[in-house]
Amino acid sequence: MPYVKVEKGVRIFVEDLNPDGEQTVLFIHGWPANHKMFEYQFNQLPKCGIRCIGVDIRGFGKSDKPWEGYSYDSLADDINCVIETLDLDDITLVGFSVGGAIAVRYMNRYSGYGISKLALVSAAVPVFTQRPDYPYSLPVGEVNKLICQTYTDRPNMLSEFGKKFFASNMSPQFLNWFSGLGLEASGHATASLAISLRDEDLRSDVQQISVPTAIFHGIHDQIVAFANAEITHQNISGSVLIPFEFSGHGLINDELDKFNYCLTQFLCMS
């Protein structure tokens, strides 16, 4: 079942690897990419008996690209449809960047239905942009600039954003591949989700999470500062914070082996 219908005229693309795996992990990708950003996890985790399910959120990758529905509530509703349609239970939910924000909203909105563990990776929580009482995130003006560039020169925006994504010296070919993931999205969806990133606030949501939670975050993250991970850790009771000393936002590639190992260890914890 490569597509899940979430509402009239909107289907979400789903890739299901190793359906007979002993453990199930549902991955929610970050802005502005799609589920293929987890290629280097999907190459390895199924070998450990792990079922990996990657979704393209609406507007991105191979999913349908409606004009509306890019609030965290709507995107969490889409995840709920995937979980119910695939009859998933006792799974680990992995959210990267805005995928982490969507995961947190899902946990609050649906009381963690079907989820036994949560992994927040470079997560855009609790707040992606600065507030008068929250100085740790990006200035609103920087996100407005990304939105403007999306509507005027999206290929260049994606290229420049990719340069800030990683702390490692990624090859030009890798960076071109990564930018290409963003081009698979619709421009309108890219801008609309950036607006949600700019405006939504998850400070009350994170306090409602009660499942075992691991927070993976790069020390040198230029997109979501490490201070956000520390605050999230403080607000999720019993959570574990795993710093990545040589990583930026793209820690799943910056420290690929360490991330795959730490995630697998987290999945194996009883």
Q: What is the dihedral of CA 228, 231, 232, 234, to 10 degrees?
A: 160
Catalytic residue among 122, 137, 249, 254: 249
Q: How far apart are CA 100 and CA 28, in angstroms?
A: 7
Question: Active site residue: 35, 56, 63, 97, which one?
Answer: 97
Catalytic-labelled residue, pool 56, 64, 205, 221: 221
Query: Active-site residue 63, yes or no?
Result: no
Q: Catalytic site residue 97?
A: yes
Active site residue 221: yes
Strands across the sheet containing 240-244: 3-7, 10-17, 50-56, 23-28, 91-96, 115-121, 213-218, 240-244
Shortest CA distance to 72 belongs to which of 225, 192, 217, 208?
Answer: 192
Q: How far apart are the C-alpha atoms of 204 and 264, rounded to whole Å?
A: 29
Q: Tokens in use for 13?
A: 């693309």
Active-site residues, by number, are 97, 221, 249
